[in-house]
Amino acid sequence: MLKIVAIDDEPLALEVIEGHLKRMDDIHSVALFRNASDALHHVKNQKVDLLLLDIEMPKITGIEFLKQLPDPPLTIFTTAYRNYAFEGFELGVIDFLLKPISFVRFSAAMDKVRDFITLKTQDTRLESGESAPGFIFVKSGVKRIKLYFEQITHIQGLKDYAIIHTKEEKIVIKGSIKMVQDMFPQALFVRVHKSFLVANAVIKRLERNRIVIEDHQIPIGRSYREDVEKVLKMH
């Protein structure tokens, strides 16, 4: 059961978010704020599972708000401006919703939150020294799972965890995106952003500063663009 805080200076935007949340049955509580200063006090002093945070607000932006939290909760940025996605992922947000936010897209973001919370409790890790040319072992409790590199599409770093996306499922492991990059074959994966590693084989096209993989839009960091373009030319 999730405790959620939503912050937006626009009343209509808060109404939309509240309406979406009312259609879900696993929400414990929702606190709505139009004033970021009041919300900051609440978030610092209450247990919050998820923060739905607008970026363009008077006095304090969503980005500034997040930087003031010593240990921020899982955060989804909501904004009317697509260009903020890059900085958002730099700050470790789990998703980025572009206004107007449809219920379908909102539900997908909430599913990502639920999956992350559930999967991170399983204490899943990559086994160092156990990789082979085509796979690596993942240890989850007493189970060892063979994870084939060809099944992986991309990896997102999130705080002290990494979310490995395969063609069939998601696996949350304890460890940084840098750790994953060091353990995966460099010939098969490319770092495209501070928070993302992508399989070369799935990079078919770029849309401005993004890689589109089915319903995932992955930002390309400025310092990584040259590496991404090299991979694209190889295909």
173 Cβ contact partners less than 8 Å away, ≥ 6 residues apart: 124, 125, 126, 138, 161, 162, 164, 180
* Stated pTM of the model: 0.83
Co-location of 211 and 191 in the same domain:
yes
Co-location of 159 and 221 in the same domain:
yes
Please state, in angstroms and rounded to a whole number, the distance separating the CA atoms of residues 10 and 163.
32
Taking residue 203's Cβ as centre, other Cβ atoms within 10 Å add up to: 23
Residue with tokens 């020294």: 129
Co-location of 106 and 139 in the same domain:
no
Last residue of a domain, one of 120, 137, 162: 120
The number of distinct structural domains making up the chain is: 2
Co-location of 149 and 67 in the same domain:
no
Q: What is the pLDDT of residue 177?
A: 93
Alpha helices (H) in 121-218, listed in sequence order: 177-183
Domain containing residue 51: 2-120
Q: What is the pLDDT of residue 207?
A: 84
What one-letter code names the amino acid at 146? K
Q: 8: closest CA among 24, 31, 25, 27?
A: 31
* Beta strand 152-158 pairing with 161-166: antiparallel
Please state, in angstroms and rounded to a whole number, the distance separating the CA atoms of residues 126 and 119.
14
Find out whether 120 and 172 touch, Cβ atoms under 8 Å: yes
Please state, in angstroms and rounded to a whole number, the distance separating the CA atoms of residues 63 and 91.
8
- Count of alpha carbons within 13 Å of 44, Cβ hemisphere only? 12
Co-location of 108 and 128 in the same domain:
no
Co-location of 76 and 45 in the same domain:
yes
Q: 91: closest CA among 7, 22, 159?
A: 159
| Cis, peptide link before residue 100, omega less than 30° from 0 | yes
Residue with tokens 């919050």: 48
Last residue of a domain, one of 120, 150, 178: 120
- Please give the chain's pLDDT, 235 residues, in tens: 899 999 999 999 999 999 999 999 999 999 999 999 999 999 999 999 999 999 999 989 999 999 999 899 999 999 887 776 667 777 889 998 999 999 999 999 999 999 999 888 887 888 876 556 799 999 887 788 899 999 999 999 998 899 999 988 899 999 999 999 999 999 999 999 999 999 999 998 888 888 988 778 898 988 999 999 888 888 6
Co-location of 20 and 52 in the same domain:
yes
Please state, in angstroms and rounded to a whole number, the distance separating the CA atoms of residues 55 and 212.
23
Q: What is the pLDDT of residue 190?
A: 96
Find out whether 191 and 184 touch, Cβ atoms under 8 Å: no
Q: What is the pLDDT of residue 189?
A: 96
